[in-house]
Amino acid sequence: MAFNGPILLKRIPDEASQRKLIRYDDYVASGGYKAYNQALAMKPEDIINVVKDSGLRGRGGAGFPCGVKWTFLPKDIFPRYLAVNYDESEPCTFKDRYLCEYDPHVLLEGIAIAGIANRISASYIFIRGEYHTQAKILEEALKEAYEKGIFGKAYPGTDIVHHCYVHRGAGAYICGEETGLLEALEGKRGWPRIKPPFPAVAGAFAKPTIINNVETLACLPYIVENGAAAFKAMGTPTSSGPKLMGVSGHVNKPGVYEEELGIPMGKLIEKYAGGVKGKYKAAFHGGISMGVLGTNQYDAPLDFDIGKAFGVLGLGTACVTVMNESTDMVKVARNCVRFYAHESCGQCTPCREGSAWAYKMLNRICDGRGKAKDLDLLLEIGLAQGIMPGTTICGLADGTNWVIKTILQKFPEEFKAKIKAESVQGVDVTVGGVKV
Amino acid sequence: MPTMEIDGKKVSFEGKKMIMQVAQDNGIEIPAYCYHPGLSIVASCRICLGEIESPDPKDPTKLVRVPKLMPTCQTPAVDGMKVYTKSPKSRANQKAVMEFLLINHPLDCPVCDQAGECYLQDYSFKYGRGESRFEEDKAKNPKKDVGNHILLYADRCIMCTRCVRFTREVSGTSELAVFGRGHKEEIDIFPGKPVNNPLASNVIDLCPVGALLDKDFLFTQRVWFLKSSPSISPVSSQGENIYIHHNQGRIYRIKPRFNQGINKWWISDETRYGFEFVHAADRLRVPERLQFGSSTEISWDAAILHADEDLRGAVKAGGGLACILSPFDSTEEMFLQIKCVRSIDPQAWIAMTPVRIDGQDIVLKNPQTGAVTYTVKAEKAPNRKGAEKMMAHFGGNICTLGELHEKVKNKKVTAALLSSDPFPAAHVADYRQVLTGIQTLIRLGTRGGAVYERSTLSLPVCTWAEKSGVFENFEGRIQAFVQAIPPLDETRSAGSIFWELLGNNGPYDVRTVRGLMVAAGLNDYGNVAIPEGELKVEEMQFAAL
């Protein structure tokens, strides 16, 4: 474990007043596009091998090994596309925005390298609809990159020309799901696709497509320049490299910070975010979809193995939202489920109906009209959804599932306290059959 | 042949098929809402999920259980696979999905047309939990008028999107779409673009619940009173296979009958709504004869006697006979009609009434694949081919209506046995011309009109729904239809009239006639059964909403 200062954020000063947009010239002056030029001289399979060796895992949430994903592309089928997931609509998450708002070229360089490695014909940066300013910044940077010949040029020794486009979303959470993103990119309703076929075989416009998160691609210049070993030196054996971690909520100094994977959450909060305001109670460690860390899980290490060890879905985006003792966890649950009910695309029955049902029920509990039997039913509705039990096409419903499950199981007394006193008298309140 | 096991039953299958298809081919029921063999797979209703054990790719003798539930409509069948749709986990999911679907459903079955043939009802009974645990307010979506024949009760909709996929993939017109998202989403049309394509009303059949309703059928009959008779479209040369749904002598609706080679799962709207003439108020009910300048109602016995006398009288008087076939009659009737006329006058001329052609064939395509999905034939008669076949079989003096006109003018033809109904409006003038000057006109028809007014003897006949027979479609497929409802009042089938005119005893029976036809060398009619359509499901398309 060795982390010596920021890598992705090296051009962005900590001090807010000193931050400014890094243009092409500043970027090159600080060592930018060196990795790109190096990559141009490399064989595509060598780049893929370096990325594979580096152990780089997807930064969007699921943590799928990036190099392995690339090898799923069928051989000799062209054109191939790259879809860059800049939708970043996970609540509590703002790392990609922060990075690209100031340093858009690190993403563009990453895209250019991924392009070389996979002989991509077109890269589509799918940017969240609400990111107006960021889209403008990105488009300007892209213009610069085109002028300097990063894009719009054939790869050496081939006639494949790499183009890059910024595609603005229309503001739906589900379009951050990779196949929902592809549908939206094609101009359709953002309904996640059923697999097979997988995007690597038939993705955007039915052509082989890679979908990578912004931060994943932004790691590529460092990996190509410094080699797999340097990248692997950071983090844990299963979760290598640095990670952008946005800290928000009840902390003294919210913001995006960079640390190596595996750092305990408490350390991150204290080292960078100025500690918790008040007394720590709970935290969303990677967007709300991963579930909540309980009061006794303050020091959970933020790496891809967090899921099994701490009763959450996974690492997610590693953007931590801290809640102190003033937080009403029932209302947190209601707010999260409201989000899922609102953002459910409406394709699969369990998610469409279940999320809205759970939201209505949580509303009733918050209003003090809850009943003793509600909690069991709420948990049952939650558990019935998601790709983990297999009842939905995409993972949106897993968010509903894990939010309900983790909050209900980690803070059952709070729910019990909200339920109408007379309905609890003489009756056991249970959660999943366990007495509260 | 690869084999697999579904719910303990060993089945075999061929080719690339989904588990659901294999199950349906073998009569195993797996509940499904969004799956339809004629549409792309979306796997979104999630009630068909089952537990699956697949052979381990490394060691095919071992089975590996997939940890999560898998959609049987979307998971390909593999040799040696075992599927459990009745396991506790699958059952729990079926229960959960049923409960989810019903929480925002109005449960207004007592006033719903679909009640009795509703998948929500059936599956509630089989897979549901029997009581609701939902205590919140239901989401209420509006009722909408979405087409000339179609109503959409959005509150009953379960969002299976079959209708949306149909308009995108089969009719290729894309009128319907999903609007909104989450539990508030609705199926709707775009402003000013109703669902009025030639296949529009198939979305009503596709709807597994009572959301899409037929205005024509709305509140007219509870479905459990309806009886179903297999039949063939009476209005188009396509030969669409249909079911006539009727009760107490009245047709209430027409539904498609699957036939892979002709109409697949669909029928055109002209066939679906083309039965009004059966219950028209101006149907002829009693035989009438022109006597002393005015038409008089007579009995059937008298009518048959007169017909025979009139035809024989015309020949005796030195005139000739004409036999005019209708492409709306069954082939058996045409056979008897020609036989009947030729038995009186072997030189009788045979002609056929004109066939209505409406512009060009309407060819519908799937816009994504370009494949032809349906053809609505321009030729609007069910049995032109049969008439041509019969004319060719008997040979001799055969002519067109125009040529017949000449012969009538030259007094070579003085009497005609005419089956004329319904005849195309565009040709009424031709008819008049042809029939002007004919002395004896024995006319079989269902309704009045210009020809009826000129007839010396009018014999009211029944429609296709009131008799049995075969039609031959544009490509010569011989397809049988059976009598659905009893003939109106005193009407009789044309076949029974010819049967009696030929001096036969006993009732007119199409099987007997087919026997005669085979004896006459028309072997195609030897083994005509009600075609059920060969059930061969095409390879599935995944796709894109």
Q: What digits encode the pLDDT tens for the residues A45-73?
A: 999 999 999 999 999 988 999 999 999 99
Domain hosting residue B409, numbered range: 288-354+383-525
Of A84-98, A250-264, A275-289, B409-423, the poorest mean pLDDT is in B409-423
Sign of CA dihedral B342, B347, B348, B351: positive
Residue B537 one-letter amino acid: V
Smallest CA–CA separation between A13 and chain B, in Å? Answer: 41
Q: Is residue A291 part of a domain?
A: yes
Query: What residues form DSSP beta bridges with A251?
Result: A276
- How many CB atoms lie under 10 A from the CB of residue B406? 12
Taking only the tens place, the pLDDT of each residue in A393-436 is 999 999 999 999 999 999 999 999 998 776 667 777 888 888 87
Say if the Cβ atoms of B45 and A377 lie within 8 Å: no
Measured distance CA(B129)–CA(B159) in Å, rounded: 21
Domain hosting residue A65, numbered range: 16-232
Q: Is residue B158 part of a domain?
A: no
Q: Is residue A8 part of a domain?
A: no
Q: What is the total count of domains within chain B?
A: 2
Q: What is the pLDDT of residue B422?
A: 64
Of A151-165, A241-255, B406-420, the poorest mean pLDDT is in B406-420
> The tokens 């109906």 sit on which residue?
A353
Query: What residues form DSSP beta bridges with A322?
Result: A249, A283
Residue A210, class by beta-carbon neighbours within 10 Å (0-12 exposed, 13-18 middle, 19+ buried)?
A: buried
Would you say residue A252 has pLDDT above 70?
A: yes
Residues A315 and A404 in one domain: no
Residues A41 and A80 in one domain: yes
Residues A252 and A228 in one domain: no
Taking only the tens place, the pLDDT of each residue in A166-210 is 999 998 999 999 999 999 999 999 999 998 899 999 999 999 999
Q: What is the pLDDT of residue B531?
A: 56
Query: What residues form DSSP beta bridges with B84?
Result: B51
* Domain-terminating residue out of A185, A213, A232: A232
Taking only the tens place, the pLDDT of each residue in A75-130 is 989 999 999 999 999 999 999 999 999 999 999 999 999 999 999 999 999 999 99
Which residue does chain B place closest to A362, by CA atoms?
Answer: B136
If you count residue pairs, one on A and one on B, with CB atoms under 8 Å apart, how many are there?
104
Across residues A277-290, what is the average pLDDT? 95
Q: Is residue A27 part of a domain?
A: yes
Contact at 8 Å (CB) between B177 and B188?
yes
Percent of chain A with pLDDT over 70: 99
Contact at 8 Å (CB) between B244 and B484?
yes
Say if the Cβ atoms of B136 and A392 lie within 8 Å: no
Residues A289 and A423 in one domain: no
Query: Which residue of B65, B105, B135, B540 is the best one to mutate when testing the A interface, meaning the one whose CB has the most A CBs within 10 A?
Result: B135
Residues A120 and A198 in one domain: yes
Q: What is the pLDDT of residue B189?
A: 96
Q: What single-letter DSSP state applies at residue B238?
A: T
Say if the Cβ atoms of B42 and A194 lie within 8 Å: yes
Residue A338 maps to which CATH number? 1.20.1440.230
Measured distance CA(B167)–CA(B177) in Å, rounded: 9
Q: What is the total count of domains within chain A?
A: 3
Q: Is residue B498 part of a domain?
A: yes
Q: Is residue A286 part of a domain?
A: yes
Q: What is the pLDDT of residue B533?
A: 39
Query: Which residue of B65, B131, B133 is the best one to mutate when testing the A interface, meaning the one whose CB has the most A CBs within 10 A?
Result: B133
Measured distance CA(B200)–CA(B207) in Å, rounded: 12
Q: What is the pLDDT of residue B131?
A: 87
Which residue does chain A place closest to B41, by CA atoms?
Answer: A194
Q: Is residue B34 part of a domain?
A: yes
Residues A342 and A316 in one domain: no
Q: What is the pLDDT of residue B535?
A: 33
Measured distance CA(A297)–CA(A299) in Å, rounded: 6
Say if the Cβ atoms of B181 and A377 lie within 8 Å: no
Residue A124 maps to which CATH number? 3.40.50.11540
Contact at 8 Å (CB) between B156 and B175?
no
Measured distance CA(A223)–CA(B489) in Å, rounded: 90
Sign of CA dihedral A238, A244, A248, A251: positive
Q: Is residue B254 part of a domain?
A: no
Q: Is residue B508 part of a domain?
A: yes
Q: Is residue A3 part of a domain?
A: no
Smallest CA–CA separation between A239 and chain B, in Å? Answer: 25
Q: What is the pLDDT of residue B167?
A: 97
Residues A296 and A259 in one domain: yes
Across residues A302-320, what is the average pLDDT? 94
Candidates B72, B266, B236; CA nearest to B169 is B266
Residues of A in contact with B68 (CB under 8 A): 387-390
Q: Is residue A305 part of a domain?
A: yes
Residues of A in contact with B165 (CB under 8 A): none
Residues A400 and A268 in one domain: no
* Domain-terminating residue out of A202, A232, A262: A232
* Domain-terminating residue out of A232, A261, A287: A232
Q: Is residue B302 part of a domain?
A: yes
Say if the Cβ atoms of B47 and A349 lie within 8 Å: yes
* Domain-terminating residue out of B62, B95, B128: B95
Residues of A in contact with B208 (CB under 8 A): none
Residues A100 and A38 in one domain: yes
Residues A271 and A310 in one domain: yes
Residue B21 maps to which CATH number? 3.10.20.740
The shortest CB-CB distance from B136 to any of A189, A347, A357 is to A357
| Helix spans in B318-366 (H) | 331-344
Say if the Cβ atoms of B70 and A361 lie within 8 Å: no
Residues A83 and A210 in one domain: yes
Q: What's chain A's length in residues?
A: 436
Residues of B in contact with A346 (CB under 8 A): 159, 178, 180-183, 185
3-state secondary structure of A67: helix
Residue A313 maps to which CATH number? 3.10.20.600
Residues A369 and A270 in one domain: no
Tokens, residue A391 = 């009842």
Q: Is residue B193 part of a domain?
A: no
Centroid of chain to Cα B307: 35
For the packed helices B331-344 and B494-501, what is the interaxial angle rounded to 10 degrees?
Answer: 30
Q: What is the ipTM of this complex?
A: 0.93
Query: Which residue of B75, B136, B137, B188 is the best one to mutate when testing the A interface, meaning the one whose CB has the most A CBs within 10 A?
Result: B136
Residue ranges in chain B whose pLDDT is less than 50? 533-545
Say if the Cβ atoms of A342 and B135 lie within 8 Å: no
Q: Is residue A205 part of a domain?
A: yes
Smallest CA–CA separation between B110 and chain A, in Å? Answer: 24
Measured distance CA(A413)–CA(A330) in Å, rounded: 10
Residue B293 maps to which CATH number? 3.40.50.740
Q: Is residue B163 part of a domain?
A: no
Say if the Cβ atoms of B69 and A352 lie within 8 Å: no
DSSP secondary structure letters along A296-333: GGTT-EESTTHHHHHTSS--TT--EEEEETT--HHHHH
Q: Is residue A11 part of a domain?
A: no
